[in-house]
Amino acid sequence: MRVVLDLVLVPLGLVVMLAYQAWLLYKIRTQPSKTVIGINTINRRVWVEAMMEDPSKNGVLAVQTLRNNIMASTLLASTAIMLSSLIAVLMTNRGAQPSVLLYGDKTQLGFSIKFFSILVCFLVAFLFNVQSIRYYSHASILINVPVKKIPLMSPNLSVEYVGRAVNRGSYFWSLGLRAFYLSFPLFLWIFGPIPMFVCCVALVSLFYFLDVVFQSHVSVASEEEHKSDEESGLP
So where are the chain's domains? 2-232
Is residue 32 classed exposed, middle or buried when 0-12, 13-18 and 19+ CB atoms within 10 A define those classes?
A: middle
CA–CA distance, 127 with 125 (Å, rounded to integer): 6
Burial of 4 (0-12, 13-18, 19+ CB in 10 A): exposed
Share of the chain above pLDDT 90, in %: 48
Count of Cβ atoms closer than 10 Å to residue 233 Cβ: 6
Task: State yes or no: pLDDT of 171 exceeds 50.
Answer: yes
What is the predicted pLDDT for the residue at 53? 83
Q: What is the pLDDT of residues 121-147, one digit of tens each?
A: 999 999 999 999 999 999 998 888 777
Contact 170, 28 (CB under 8 A): no
pLDDT of residue 151: 62
The Cα 182–Cα 195 span in angstroms is 13
Helix-helix angle 159-188:193-211, to 10 degrees: 150
The per-residue pLDDT for range 181-226, each reduced to its tens digit, is: 999 999 988 888 888 999 999 999 999 999 998 875 434 344 444 4
Worst-scoring range by mean pLDDT, 75-84, 181-190, 226-235?
226-235
Q: Give percent above pLDDT 70 in the chain.
A: 81
Rounded to the nearest angstrom, the gap between the alpha carbon of residue 23 and the centroid of all alpha carbons in its chain is 15
